[in-house]
Amino acid sequence: MLTELKDAYLFSQLDESQLERVRKMSSEIELQDNQALFEVGDPAKRFFLVREGQIKLSRLSMNGNEKVIEVVTAGYTFAEALMFSDKPAYPVRAAAIGKTRLIAVDGRGFLDLLRESTDTCFRVMGDMSMRLRRMIKEIDDLTLQSATGRVAGYLCGKAMFNGQVRVAFELATPKGVLASRLSVKPETFSRILSNLSNQGLVKVRGGHIEILDVEGLRKHAESSGVCGHQISP
């Protein structure tokens, strides 16, 4: 567990004794596919690091449809900002996508540790700032851009890896979850992928995506102003 904690951005500036304190205030959780971690309104006493698998954060709309807010993948933390609240409660539902392993960290205990580590405080603040900017950009995309542009922009973001373009990759997240994440209906998501395929921009085989025309896909996304702004995951 110590190695995984140290590799996580949030804990990377802690020294060995501080990491050991985090380990002692942490526990391991294993979830099966679609098993809930917490529900909306549950007391937020812990935050989490995904060790393996994915966590879907979602809310129900007024008509009962699920809206996926975020998909958290291995190596990333979530719900840590809530430890700064006086009476923290989870504002979303969290459920596993596939078999998922987590590290749960006691929020109050970690807050005590933050008072001793300025570097880690700034990392928490930096992470919260990046998420806020990403959310603002996403609001712009959802309100100003077309559904096709959002899907093309998402594929552009997934194709980028360490500054290089990957010509092929797997969609590790179910298409229905991705559709909700991009605020389109599942059938619309499938239709857009089919249209992009018919245009010779991509080749789709199940969850396997092959980029056939990188520049064409990029221009398609840039026409909606979203390419290069990948929506997680």
pLDDT of residue 139: 64
CATH of 145-222, one of 1.10.10.10, 1.10.540.10, 2.60.120.10, 2.40.420.20: 1.10.10.10
- The larger pLDDT score, comparing residue 181 to residue 35, is at 35
Cα gap 74→162, rounded to integer Å:
17
pTM above 0.85, yes or no: no
Best mean pLDDT range from 31-45, 167-181, 205-219: 31-45
The model's pLDDT over 122-161, given as tens digits with 9 standing for 90+, comes to 877 887 777 777 776 666 655 556 888 888 888 988 888 7
What are 104's strand-pairing partners? Answer: 27, 48
Letter for the amino acid at 180?
S
The model's pLDDT over 193-215, given as tens digits with 9 standing for 90+, comes to 999 999 999 999 989 999 999 88
pLDDT of residue 77: 92
DSSP state letter for 215: H
- What is the third-level CATH fold of 2-131? Jelly Rolls (2.60.120)
Phi then psi dihedrals of residue 55, to 5 deg: -120, 130
The whole-angstrom distance between residue 174's C-alpha and the CA centroid of its chain comes to: 13
Domain with CATH 2.60.120.10 in the chain: 2-131
With 60 as the cut, is the pLDDT of residue 110 above it? yes
Domain with CATH 1.10.10.10 in the chain: 145-222
SS3 29: strand
In DSSP notation, 121-179 reads: HHHHHHHHHHHHHHHHHHHHHHHHS-HHHHHHHHHHHHHEETTEE-SEEE--S-HHHHH
Please classify residue 153 by burial: count the beta carbons closer than 10 Å to its beta carbon, then call 0-12 exposed, 13-18 middle and 19+ buried: buried
